[in-house]
Structure 1
Amino acid sequence: MQTVKVIAKVVHDNSGVFTEVPVLLDENKHVIKPLLDYTLKLKRDGRSHSSLTKLIKAAQLLLEYMVSNMECFATPQSMFESFSTRLYTGTINDEGIDPSGLFWLPHSPSVARSHIYLLTQLTDWLAENQGIEPMNPVVKADDYTQSLNYAAWYRKKQHDFLGHIKDQHINSTVQFSRSIQGKRPLGKKKQAAVEFPEHHFKAFYFDGLGAALDRRVSLRDQLILLLIHGGGLRESEALHLWLEDVVIDPLTPNNVKVRIYHPEYGDAPNNWRGQSGKTTRAAYLKEKYALSPRNDFLGTKRVGWKSNYTDADGYLEVYWFPAIFGEVFSKLWREYTRFLIGIDRNHPYAFINFHKDHIGKPYTLNAFHYSYRQGLKRIGLKPCKADGLSAHSHRHSYGRRLRRAGIHEIIIKKCLHHSSLDSQIVYTAPTAKEVTANLNAATDKLSNITDSVENISPPSWEVLTQYGFNDIDPYNLFTGKSSKLGKSYDK
């Protein structure tokens, strides 16, 4: 079956309101209805666009495999078992040919396992709602799998904030597993996030983004750069900024307070209340501009929203560090907003397009990434995520800057708008260069230690707690040189 993935606008009733979701078309250009129904369910449940796209890709592979091997299997389960194997091995034999015509290369263990999981959820839903036989049923787990299930259950219980008031008995599901689970991916240590090279920032700000021929373009892109580099925002969050979201800081007149509101549930500006009594940004956009929030769109108009953690009233507060970034932003903002006078904007977004064919329209992520690459090109650099030359690397720079300044982990969590201390590990972990420098310093210190041990006395409690207790306090919440919640014994 030759299938094609497209973006569909689904209208449910006479209101004319539509829902955009990815769908598959068969060879007759008909939508594959069961998959559409399941995708709409996930959309209603709040699944992200990337999750829906991964599901569609997995379903497309399964359908192609089914058609190419229609007569080979007696049961859906045996077909799914073989399909899962081919995800890992590919379909090209040792002679370099593939009679099935699929010509799949082997998928990585993590991608293959993700496809198996998504398709298992899909076929479970189809079995429940359409009466088909499940392709990946639940079976009695072997001893090894039961041990892993128990370890997972125990870890979840240990990290459950309300676990002490829940049933402490082992859940019976520990004894069961899926018939097909996929290979366990290779365990990897979290890779330290690569930050934007600080020694390039000044040139990039002035001679990169600041050298655009149109002054309005320079100001717009420099303002976004300040938000992501000096305020730690994701670039997508910066594009959700409205003009009303920037106000003078009452404590520091030369600085400004910037708040990025949730595109749907954040409060509308100026205490607005709609005709129906609603006060959210989604209601404001619909009633004032007949628009939907930008995270509801698909394609180039879409601007996603990742953070599940906001401050009061549904916004992310920008915490400038150092504060000079906020002062520079304040100065540029006054100049930038003067350019907006006289430009028709049928929307409230602060950052707009200045191209003559699209002037006044909301600035898109694709357009910003293009301007970003052009800015790097002007100072002789090429975009490279591994070298920190990407827009998101500025958020990494912000996190590392906070850590190097000795800011407590709880404060860093607040600044990065993370819901968990674990989330910021990738942003604040030491770099390979820092590890090497510390080891070299330790080597020099070691060489100066005398061989005499006569005067060594038993260590005090304060000294013992400097090194933590990994068995009972693995995250150094109360012990260690940089305890997160307890007293620090760092001398």
Structure 2
Amino acid sequence: MHIVQMPLLTSVRLKVDYQSPTQLNTIRLPALMTSQGILVSLLQYLSEKNRSNSWRAKVTTAVGTLLDFIALSGIPFENPTMLLKSFRTALKSGTIDLDLEDPTGLYWPNRSHEHVDDIVSLLTGYTDWLILQPGHSGVVLNPIREATKHEEKLNWCAYHHRQDNKLLSHLTSDEERDQNRFRREVGREKASPVILDEVKRFPQEHLDTLLDEGFVRASSRSVHKHMRIDYKSQAMTLLMNAGGLRKSELFHIYLDDIEIDEERCEAIVRVHHPSKGKAPEKGYKNRQDYLLRKFRMKPRTDYLKSESLHAGWKAPTTNKQMFFVVQFYPPSRSQEFLLAFQNYLLYQRVDARGRHPYAFTNTKGRPETIKNFQRLHTQAVERIGLSCCKYQGTSEHGHRHAYGYRLAENGFSQLDIKDAMHHAHPDSCLVYLQKTDREVRETMRKTETRKNFTPPAKTFEPEETETFGRPIASYRGITRSRN
């Protein structure tokens, strides 16, 4: 019996507060601690790039993966060409042999070519930046000292990167070279043509059951419905299923962002940009300024992905005031949301006055977290007899798929759907409009009936009289008339 060992690590990931030489304030960043100290050049690179914390975490992981390979693979770093080629091959094919042994100690499984391309792309940006640093040392905190061994090895990759572009520049256009600087030695592989996955949307026939019977507060044994029903999760789910919101967008909504249209008795929900959106009170430049000065908080996009307050932002289209309005469909669901949200405010929301401005809170009055809501949603799905699974459409994102498909099913144009789902490009919504394989087959059956097609005649000559349940290969002499 072979036991797969845990891979050895040459660096440890941690969080540090870093002050760049070009910035006044410190910023919390993911970092790599090696045997020779923290990789300062990586911190400087991450601080200079105005990107999301998710991107920063991915870059840190990619660089750590390369350092592990350099240290443990046994390939001499003096040969950067072989190093980079071997690194890509190890990512793609894995390092474990048929006997489940690995002389490198990495014990890497094979990765998809998409994952490998992502790692290569992230390293490309970092090594591009390293090339431009004084002396190619990548050290900005103390420029006169020599590079550490880890930095020296990364500089070899950057040096090879630069030289390779010079030698092969006549084979590549300027545009292609700018897009993929690792093109010749460790470039992206051509992806195999694949059919798009079957759309996974939340089954509409189970939505009301989920809302009414799934979202029950497990901590309450009271028979009174206002104590038993989880109104918060009801409201959040309706924002996704009937309003098309992404899961992450729920956690940027302030209490003041939800208003009532008294004429129609419907909710008006605005989702503002986490930092650039307008503050709900006068005297503040934007929401970032508002959170800092009033609550000593950061926009939730600025927290590390490993921190509970983190919530992403997928750059939906907004108006000039940096917000968009939730479009409920069908509109009657807006009233359902309003009722659930009002009950949540009246009976369950813990007062968070003076602590934060967010609409949804946990049982201690703190801002609700993505992880906790995922737990509540999973329990609710399982409570009504379903399994919570992305590939069955019963995860949180399945609600947004259901919203987009519902619009298409009821005759909305592609541009209308783009606007309702706040996409920048009209084709971005196409993935939400796909029919399932079962629905395609049903459409084919209806078309056949409508066109009065004559089914082909078939003649079966079974080997035995008892044929029910036999495999198709046991039938002989199948003939079919031609139309």
**SS in structure 1 of the partner of residue 266 of structure 2:** strand
**Counterpart among 226, 229, 234 of residue 238 in structure 2:** 226
**Counterpart among 259, 262, 266 of residue 273 in structure 2:** 262
**Counterpart among 324, 346, 353 of residue 316 in structure 1:** 324
Distance 1:38 1:174 in 2: 19
2:368 alignment partner in structure 1: 363
Distance 2:355 2:22 in 1: 26
1:342 and 1:110, CA in 2 relative to 1: closer, same or farther beyond 3 A? closer
Percent pairwise identity: 29
1:347 and 1:114, CA in 2 relative to 1: closer, same or farther beyond 3 A? same
Distance 1:334 1:419 in 2: 33
Counterpart check, 1:88 vs 2:92: yes
In the TM superposition, what are the counterparts of 1:444-459 in structure 2 within 5 Å?
Answer: 444-448=449-453
2:314 alignment partner in structure 1: 306
Distance 2:91 2:185 in 1: 16
CA contact (8 A) 1:141 1:177 kept: no
Kindly state the Cα deviation for residue 69 of structure 1 after the two structures are TM-superposed.
Answer: 4.0
Count of residues in correspondence between the two structures = 415
1:253 alignment partner in structure 2: 264
Counterpart check, 1:351 vs 2:360: yes
1:138 alignment partner in structure 2: 165
1:325 and 1:77, CA in 2 relative to 1: closer, same or farther beyond 3 A? same
Distance 2:377 2:73 in 1: 47
2:209 alignment partner in structure 1: 203
Kindly state the Cα deviation for residue 344 of structure 1 after the two structures are TM-superposed.
Answer: 4.5
CA contact (8 A) 2:20 2:47 kept: no
Residue identity in the other structure for 1:53: A
CA contact (8 A) 1:413 1:424 kept: yes
Q: Deviations over 1:86-143 (max 9, x none)?
A: 2222223455432222222222111112222222222222122142452333266699
Counterpart check, 1:38 vs 2:42: no
2:29 alignment partner in structure 1: 21
CA contact (8 A) 1:237 1:260 kept: yes
In the TM superposition, what are the counterparts of 1:253-292 in structure 2 within 5 Å?
Answer: 253-270=264-281, 272-274=282-284, 278=285, 280-292=286-298
Q: Deviations over 1:249-297 (max 9, x none)?
A: 26x4311211011110011114x123xxx2x111111121121111111
1:404 alignment partner in structure 2: 409
Residue identity in the other structure for 2:160: M
Where structure 1 has 5 or more consecutive residues not aligned to the other structure, the ranges are 154-170, 450-491
2:435 alignment partner in structure 1: 430
Distance 1:93 1:342 in 2: 58
For normalisation by structure 2, the TM-score amounts to: 0.78
In the TM superposition, what are the counterparts of 1:43-192 in structure 2 within 5 Å?
Answer: 45=50, 47-69=51-73, 72-129=76-133, 130-131=135-136, 132-133=155-156, 134-136=159-161, 137-138=164-165, 177-192=183-198
Distance 1:77 1:390 in 2: 44
Kindly state the Cα deviation for residue 181 of structure 1 after the two structures are TM-superposed.
Answer: 0.8
CA contact (8 A) 1:140 1:176 kept: no
Distance 1:230 1:440 in 2: 30
Where structure 2 has 5 or more consecutive residues not aligned to the other structure, the ranges are 1-8, 137-154, 221-225, 455-483
1:140 and 1:76, CA in 2 relative to 1: closer, same or farther beyond 3 A? closer
1:38 and 1:352, CA in 2 relative to 1: closer, same or farther beyond 3 A? same
CA contact (8 A) 1:260 1:316 kept: yes
Residue identity in the other structure for 1:349: Y
1:15 and 1:435, CA in 2 relative to 1: closer, same or farther beyond 3 A? closer
For normalisation by structure 1, the TM-score amounts to: 0.77
Distance 1:381 1:329 in 2: 23
CA contact (8 A) 1:109 1:185 kept: yes
**SS in structure 2 of the partner of residue 288 of structure 1:** helix
1:21 and 1:186, CA in 2 relative to 1: closer, same or farther beyond 3 A? farther
1:336 alignment partner in structure 2: 344
CA contact (8 A) 2:248 2:312 kept: yes
Distance 2:413 2:131 in 1: 50
Kindly state the Cα deviation for residue 176 of structure 1 after the two structures are TM-superposed.
Answer: 10
CA contact (8 A) 1:255 1:327 kept: yes
CA contact (8 A) 1:192 1:427 kept: no
1:5 alignment partner in structure 2: 13
Kindly state the Cα deviation for residue 332 of structure 1 after the two structures are TM-superposed.
Answer: 2.4
Kindly state the Cα deviation for residue 342 of structure 1 after the two structures are TM-superposed.
Answer: 5.1
**SS in structure 2 of the partner of residue 179 of structure 1:** helix
CA contact (8 A) 1:300 1:364 kept: yes
CA contact (8 A) 1:210 1:222 kept: no
Distance 1:175 1:22 in 2: 25
Kindly state the Cα deviation for residue 350 of structure 1 after the two structures are TM-superposed.
Answer: 0.9
Residue identity in the other structure for 1:35: L
Kindly state the Cα deviation for residue 202 of structure 1 after the two structures are TM-superposed.
Answer: 1.1
Counterpart check, 1:327 vs 2:332: no
Q: C-alpha root-mean-square deviation of aligned residues, in Å?
A: 3.1
CA contact (8 A) 1:255 1:326 kept: yes
**Counterpart among 416, 425, 434 of residue 420 in structure 1:** 425
1:16 and 1:39, CA in 2 relative to 1: closer, same or farther beyond 3 A? closer
CA contact (8 A) 2:350 2:361 kept: no
Residue identity in the other structure for 2:131: A
CA contact (8 A) 1:344 1:360 kept: no
Residue identity in the other structure for 2:269: V
